[in-house]
Amino acid sequence: MTTLFALLTEYGALGVFLVVLLVQLGLPIPVLPLLLLMGSLAMADPQLGLAALLLAIVASLLGDFVWYSAGRRYGHRILHLLCRISLSPDSCVRQSETNFNRWGVATLVISKFIPGLATLAPPLAGALGLRRSSFFIFSTAGAALWAGTWLVVGAIFYKQINIVLVTMTQFGKIAIFVIFLLLITYVIFRWWQRYRIKRFALQTRITPKELAELLNQEQLPLIFDARSSLVKSLDLARITGARALDPKALAETITDIPFDQVMVIYCSCPNDASAVQVARELKRRGYTQVKSLYGGIDAWRAEGFSVEYYESHEHQMGHLLNQDTL
């Protein structure tokens, strides 16, 4: 036990820097226990706590700036990449867009407290063209608030944390095995969720060519644009005849639609996640002819099919981010 405390006292702050950097770059490493532990050690050595805080902020900024720069260069595509490697790809882009739509640039301040958003907020800010100066200000504030909060919590509960460390030391390999087992169980559960959603998507999807054929038939399908309002503000194009749809206001959108009406839902997200989620909910409500467009509006345009544009749509991000062009 003494050896453990000696190692943490000597190398703990450096460990915080390394772990926080890797976490911000996207690796699923548990950083919270380390911050709590460093906070408890800061009760005996305040300089250690200050060093851990400063290094956590620097590491967070470095990781965030990598993704921010990628977002500025590659735009929305970088979000697709991040969500494809995420354990929760089916909602992460949509949730990030919704948060930015609600809180604007302040999302960078609170993002690290929200699972999944911490990695997605910086590239989304870059894709939306947030000024570098604003990015650094809000990202620094967010890193300081996040790291400082957990270090303070660790300092407050330092006695309880020391008890946990002693207990883990006593149980040794058993404690490590239990933690490892819980982590594996979580990953398997998330994988199973992904599998079920993917299986449903395969059963209900329709290709752009198949949709084009349906549009030439006598009974036309209803087409719904399930992209977030943020994405619509960046891309005003829509499939000709499509209706805007807010998944959170689904009941109002589908009022008086027959249960056997053919409906096609599309988005522009990884694995058609938003479209698939809406299709699943409509199926659950009893609608039998619901399809999700494979590849979304991007695949539709790639095939050369027609689009039209929303007549008026507030460009929300210019207001939310208060940005200028760099």
Please check whether residues 162 and 224 belong to one and the same domain.
no
Instruction: Report how far residue 37's alpha carbon sits from residue 12's, in angstroms, rounded to the nearest whole number.
Output: 9
Range of the domain at 263: 199-321
Q: Would residue 187 count as lying in a domain?
A: no
Domain holding 223: CATH number? 3.40.250.10
166 & 212 share domain: no
Q: Would you state the structure tokens that stand for residue 175, as one six-digit string?
A: 């404690």
Residue 64 shares a structural domain with residue 137: yes
Residue 236 shares a structural domain with residue 121: no
Q: Smallest Cα–Cα separation from 20: which of 175, 142, 125, 189?
A: 142
- 9 & 153 share domain: yes
Within-domain flag for 177? no
220 and 125, same structural domain? no
Question: 43 with 127, same domain?
Answer: yes
Inter-residue contact 26 to 122 (CB < 8 Å): no
Tell whether 120 is covered by a domain: yes
Is residue 182 a part of any domain in this protein? no
- Clarify whether residues 166 and 306 are in a common domain: no
What's the total number of domains in the chain? 2
Cα 174 to Cα 8, 158, 165, 168, 207: the distances in Å are 22, 23, 13, 8, 51
Buried b / exposed e along 75-86 (16+ C-beta atoms within 10 A) = bbebbbebbeeb
Kindly state whether residues 132 and 243 are assigned to the same domain. Answer: no
pLDDT tens sequence for the chain (326 residues): 445 555 556 667 888 899 899 888 877 777 888 899 889 888 888 898 899 999 999 999 999 999 999 988 887 677 666 666 554 544 556 666 666 767 778 888 988 887 667 777 888 888 878 889 999 999 999 999 999 999 999 999 888 877 776 666 666 667 677 777 877 887 787 777 767 767 777 788 899 999 999 998 888 899 999 887 767 776 788 999 999 888 778 877 788 899 999 999 998 876 787 888 899 899 989 999 999 999 899 899 999 998 998 875 444 444 445 444 34
Q: What is the pTM of this model?
A: 0.64
> Do 207 and 138 have their domain in common?
no
Same domain, 48 and 161: yes
Asked if residue 185 is part of any domain, the answer here is no
So what's the pLDDT on residue 316? Answer: 44
Quote the pLDDT of residue 196: 75
Whole-number Cα distances in Å, 73 to 127, 129, 236, 285: 7, 10, 21, 41
Beta carbons of 289 and 263 less than 8 angstroms apart: yes
Is 167 found in the same domain as 70?
Answer: yes
In a domain, 193, yes or no: no
As to burial, measured by CB atoms within 10 angstroms (0-12 exposed, 13-18 middle, 19+ buried), residue 283 is middle
Over 89-103, what HEC string results?
CCCHHHHHHHHHHHH
| Boundary (domain end) residue, out of 171, 188, 210 | 171
189: in domain: no
